[in-house]
Amino acid sequence: MRSSKSRSRNKSNRNRNNPGNIINRVYDSSGPEGKVRGTPQQIIDKYNQLTRDAFLSNDRVAGENFQQHAEHYTRLLGEAQREIEARRQQADQQNRERQQREKDARAERAEAQANAAAEQPVPGEGAQPDLADAPQPDIAGDDDNGLVETPESKPRRQPTRARKPRKPARKEEASAADAKPAPEVTDPSGEAAE
């Protein structure tokens, strides 16, 4: 089992390793007139007020004591702010370097793409391949005119509509239909059929 002494040592070391929290951390300061509690800035303000009050009451010793306490927390706060500023500047520098590397990488990619596009032949420009040397497809059929039949070259057929079934004609109507001349039939091209 660990002793409380080692635990307290580890606890104090933990606080020293994280100076970024010093600015907002709440301290208990044991001054000459009791404890002063607050963040470093609040403690500095309190000791400065106590210093003014001591000098106004002609107590130079207490005033100097309060002034020393205020200076201690001023140094503590100043050191923490310098470390925070140094970390911020380091982070800014790293961000600038990272952005520059990304910018350089984008420029390299764009240049590589431009070079690759320049090396590829553009259709319609430059030397054309000799199609006589290319393998030719075999064309099968009796009608060897050198053309290949494609779906576009086939004649289009008109779609047929389903006819309605006709009613059987009555005898009287059938004889009247024979007497009437037949209507002229036209083909789809619009010409009269003979």
Domain boundaries, the chain: 18-115
Q: Report, as ranges of residue numbers, the positions in the chain whose pLDDT lies below 70.
A: 1-20, 121-129, 138-146, 172-194
Judging by beta carbons within 10 Å of its beta carbon (0-12, 13-18, 19+), is residue 54 exposed, middle or buried?
A: buried
Closest of 61, 28, 58, 60 to residue 46, by C-alpha: 28
The owner of tokens 């001349």 is: 181
CA atoms within 13 A on the CB side of 16: 6
Residue tagged 């009451």 (tokens): 57
For residue 93, give both structure tokens. 């520098």
| pLDDT at residue 152, rounded to an integer | 79
* Predicted local confidence at residue 143, as pLDDT: 56
From residue 113, alpha-carbon distances to 27, 99, 119 in Å are 60, 21, 10
